[in-house]
Structure 1
Amino acid sequence: MPSTARSRLWPPRGRAADAALAGGLFLVVGLGTLRSLIGAREEPWAVTAANWLLIAVACGALYFSSRRPVPAASAAALATAVYYVTSAYDGPLLLAVVVALFTVAAAGRLHAAVVIAALCLIGTALGTLQGNGDVNHVALFMLTGWFVAMITLGGLRHSHLVRARETEERAATQERLRIARELHDVVGHHLSLINVQSAAALRRLTKDPAAGAGQAAEALGAVKAASHEALRELRATLGVLRDAGEEAPTAPAPGLARIGELTGAARATGLAVTVHRTGGPGRLPVEADLAAYRIVQESLTNVARHARATRADIRLDGDGHRLTVSVTDDGRGPVTDPAGTGPTGSGVTGMRERARALGGDLTAGPAPGGGFAVHATLPLAPLAAQEEPRR
C-alpha cells in the first residue's frame, strides 16, 4: 500500500505538473532530434544550436500552459514554425503544438485554440504549396485531424471539470444549508425559552419582589438549564467543522428518545404539553429520528414565541413505513414577527425542507378548532430505496 507522503507527491499537481509536462516533452522531442548532433552534418553547428534553443523554448513554454494557456501555446507554435523553417533535421517538435492546443481548449479557450490551429495549418499549407517536400497533402490532412482531435478532447476535458466543480459547489451549498438549519433549530429553540423565562422572572420581580422571588428563581433555573443545553447542542452541531484530530462530541444525537427534554423545557414556560404515541415504528433511521425531533422542537419554539397558547399536543404515529408527527396548540394562530421567524417564516420553511429531504412532506396552518397545527409525514425507508424502480 502506498504511503501517504507518496500519494501526495504522485500524480504531480500545480506547477510540478507543468514542469513534468514541459520536461517530459523536451525529453521526447530531444530523443527524436538526436540525429542533429550525431552523424553527418547537414547544417552548421551554430544553426543546430539555435534550433535546439527553439526546441527548449517550445517545450519550456508549456510550463506556463496552466496559468497562461494562450500565450504559452502561441510561443510554442511560433518557436515550432521557426524551427521547421530553419532546421535541416526533421523532428517531433510538432508535439509541442499539439499538446499546447489541448491545454488551451481544456482551459475553456476554444476560440483561441481554433485560431492558433488555423494559423499553423495555413502556414504549413503555404509551405507545401511552395514545394516543401517534408509535408505533402496527406500529411497536411492528418495534421488537421490531430489538431481537431486535440481541441475536441480539450473541450471535453473543460466540460468535465466544469460539471465536477458545479457538483462540488452544490454539495457545499447543501452542507451549508444543513448546518444553517441545525444552528437555527438549536439556537432558536433554546434562546426562545431563555427569552420567555427571563421575561417571566423580570415581570415577577418587578410586580412583587417578595412574593415573586421563588418563582423568579425557578425561571432563572430554567434559563440556566436552557443555556447549558444550547451550548452543548451547539458544540455537537459545530463538530462537523472541527479540525482533523479534534475529539468528536460524545453527547447523544438528538432524537425522539430525548423528546422529554423538549416537553420539560416547554412546561417550564407554563405551557401544558402532552405527548401521544401510537403505532410501533421500532428503531427509527437516524435521519428520520433527527428530523422528527427538530420538527417538534421548532414547533414548540413557535408556540412559545408567537402563539400565546396554554396547551400543546404532540402526536407521534408510526407504522414501520412512515412516521407522522403532529403538533397543535390552542393559541391565536399564525403570526409572522418582523424578523420573519414566526410560524410562517423561516422556521416552517426549515421544517418543510427537512421533511422533503427524506421524501416526505409537511403542512402548517390554522387548525380547524383554532390555534395552529403542524403535520409532517416522514418515510422511514432510505430515500435511495424509495426511488429504486420496482422489478
Structure 2
Amino acid sequence: MTATGEDREAAGPTTRGYWWWERRRSVALDVGLALFSALECGLEGVEFAGDTGLPVPLGVVFGFFAGAVLLVRRRWPIAVVLVSVATTPAEMGFLMGLVGLYTLAASDVPRRITVVLMSMSLVGTFIVTYVRLRQGVSASADFGPGDWYVPMLSLFMAVGLAAPPVLFGLYIGARRRLMESLRERADSLERELSLLADRAEERAEWARTEERTRIAREMHDVVAHRVSLMVVHAAALQAVAPKDPAKAVRNAALVGDMGRQALTELREMLGVLRTGEPMAARVTKVPLASVGRVAAAAPEDGPRLHEVETLVGESRAAGMTVELSVEGETRPYPPEVEQTAYRVVQEALTNVHKHAAGAKTWVRLAHRGAEVAMQVENGPSDSGTADAGLPSGGNGLVGMRERVLGLGGVFVSGPTDAGGFRVSAVLPDAGGAGA
C-alpha cells in the first residue's frame, strides 16, 4: 500500500473500515474529487469523440471512468498518474493530473519513481501543447510569431502544470514526516517519563520499607536490652528479697534506673520521628546505586563505641560475669560505624541474658588499620539458669547482620565447640563510603 499518509496528519483515526481510508472527511474529499474529475473528463470526452469519430456516448463513458480513477489516489497514486499521462493526448483529466502528481509526491513512493512519472507527465503535456499550438499557428494566417513562441509556450505550460503540484506534494510529505517524527519522539519521551515515574515510585516504596525496617530495628535495640536487664534484675530481686533486703533495695533501684533510661531513649527516638527529617526523604534523593549504603547509615545522634564499657558495666550489675578487652589504639570512627558496633555488642549481650543466663561472657574490641572488629562470646550456662524465660522474636541476629552488611562489613555467628555462642563482626573504618 502506497498511501500518502494524509489520514495520519491528525492525532489519530476517528473511523476505520472504509477500505483504505481512516477518516470520514478523507472519504468525502476523495469521492468529491473523483466525481468532479469524472464530470470534467466526461464533458471533455464529447470533444474527444468528435475529433476521433467515436460515438459521443462512448467518449463520455470513457472520460467518466478515466476521471473516476482519482477515487483510488491514496491507495494507488502511481496508477492515477499513469492514467493521467495516458489521457493527456485526449486533452482530458486536467484535475486528475494535478491531484495525482500532488498525491504521488506526498506519498511514500520512492523519489526515483516520482521523478520518472513527473517527467512523463511533463513530456506528454509538452508534446500535446506543442502539437496543438503548432496547428493553431499554422491555421491562423494573420498571426505569425517567431520560431521560439510555440516551444517556449509549450514548455511553460508543461512546467506550470507539473512542477507546482509536485513541489507542494514534496513539501506536505516532508512536513508530515517531520510531524510523525516529532510525535514519535514525544511518545518516546512520555514513555521515558512514565518509566522514570515508576522508578521513582519504586524507589520511594523501597525507602519506606527500609525506613520501617530501620525503625523496627532501632526500637528492638533500645527496648530489648533494657527490658532484658530489668527482667533479670527483677528475678534477682525476687530471689534475694527474703534473704538480703539491702541487696534487694539496690536491685530495685537498678530496675528503676533502667526503666527510666529505656523511657528516655524511647522518648528521644519518638521525638526524632515526629520532628526530624525522615530517612525515606533522604534516601529518595540519591541514585539507586547508593541507596543500599544510605539506608544502612544511622542518624548522627546515637550511641558511640566508647559507651561499650558502660554497657558491659550494666550487664555486670545484672549479675553477668563479663570480661572486656580492647586491642589497638582507640580512635573515632564515622557515627554509623560506632553505632553499629555498639548495637552488635548490645544485642549479643541481650541474647546472653535471654538464653544463657549465668554464663561467663567475653567482649573483645580490636582497632586495626582500616577496620574495627568486635566479638562477644559466652560459655555454657548452668543447667538451672539456661534460659531467663524472656520472649524472643528471632530478629536479633538478623538485625545485627543487616546492620553490618549494610556498611560493607563481615558478620559471623554460631555455637562454639565449648557449648557456648559467639558473635563476631568486622566493620570498615570508612563506613558505607568505603565498602
TM over 0.5: yes
User: Is 1:311 aligned with 2:343?
Assistant: no
Q: Using the alignment, how far apart are the partners of 2:215 and 2:327 within structure 1? A: 31
Would the alpha carbon gap of residues 295 and 168 (structure 1) be closer, same or farther in structure 2, given more than 3 Å must change? same
Deviations 1:309-360 (A, max 9, x none): 332110000113111100011234998989553xxx2101101111101101
Give yes or no for the alignment of 1:156 onto 2:192. yes
Between the two proteins, what is the percent identity of the paired residues?
33
CA distance in 2, matches of 1:131, 1:239: 78
Match of 1:192 among 187, 207, 228: 228
Moved over 6 A (4+): 333-338
Contact 1:280–1:320 (CA<8 Å) still a contact in 2?
A: no
Inter-partner Cα distance in structure 1 for 2:326 and 2:365: 5
Name the SS for the 1:331 alignment partner. coil
- The residue aligned with 1:4 is none
**1:258 pairs with one of 307, 313, 334:** 307
Aligned counterparts of 1:336 and 1:161: Cα–Cα separation in 2: 51
SS at the partner of 2:326?
Answer: strand
* TM-superposed deviation, 1:217: 1.3
Distance 2:190 2:15 in 1: 18
| Distance 1:374-1:277 versus aligned 2 partners, 3 A rule | same
Q: Deviations over 1:121-179 (max 9, x none)?
A: 9327546645699x975265555444433332222111110011111221222122112
Structure 1 pair 303/128, CA: closer, same or farther in 2 (3 Å)?
Answer: farther
Where does 1:9-20 land on structure 2 (aligned, <5 Å)?
none
Alignment partner of 1:375 out of 410, 418, 424: 424
Describe the SS at the equivalent of 2:427: strand
Matches of residues 335-346 of structure 1 in structure 2 within 5 Å? 340-341=392-393, 345-346=394-395
CA distance, structure 2, for counterparts of residue 289 and residue 281 of structure 1: 12
Give the Cα separation in 2 of the matches to 1:267 and 1:281. 23
Tell me by how many angstroms 1:259 deviates.
1.5
How many pairs does the alignment contain?
261
Partner of 1:220: 252
- Shift of the 130–264 alpha-carbon distance from structure 1 to 2, 3 Å rule, reads farther
Give the aligned residue type for 1:165: E
* 1:351 matched residue in structure 2: 400
Whole-Å Cα distance in 1 between the matches of residues 26 and 377 of structure 2?
Answer: 82
CA RMSD, Structure 1 to Structure 2 (Å): 3.2
For normalisation by structure 1, the TM-score amounts to: 0.59
User: What is the identity, as a one-letter code, of the residue corresponding to 2:306?
Assistant: A
Amino acid at match of 1:302: N
- Residue 385 of structure 1 corresponds to 434
Is this contact kept in 1: 2:322–2:362, CA < 8 A? Answer: yes
Q: Is the 8 A contact 1:281 1:323 kept in 2?
A: no
Give 1:278 shift: 0.3
Aligned partner letter, 2:251? A
In 2 relative to 1, CA 272–338 (structure 1 residues): closer, same or farther, beyond 3 Å?
A: closer
| Partner residue in 2 for 1:236 | 268
Where 2:426 maps in the other structure, the secondary structure is strand
Asked whether the equivalents of residues 380 and 418 of structure 2 are also in contact (C-alpha less than 8 Å), the reply is no
Greater gyration radius: 2
Residues 1:201 and 2:233 are matched in the alignment: no
Q: What stretches of structure 1 of length at least 5 have no aligned partner?
A: 1-93, 99-116, 246-250, 387-391
Give the AA of the match of 1:152.
S
Amino acid at match of 2:355: H
In structure 2, runs of 5+ residues without a counterpart are 1-8, 17-21, 34-98, 108-172, 278-299
Check 1:280–1:165 CA distance in 2 against 1; reply closer, same or farther (3 A cut). Answer: same
**Cα distance between partner residues in 2 of 1:158 and 1:152:** 10
Q: Do the aligned residues in 1 keep the contact of 2:359 with 2:381 (CA within 8 Å)?
A: no
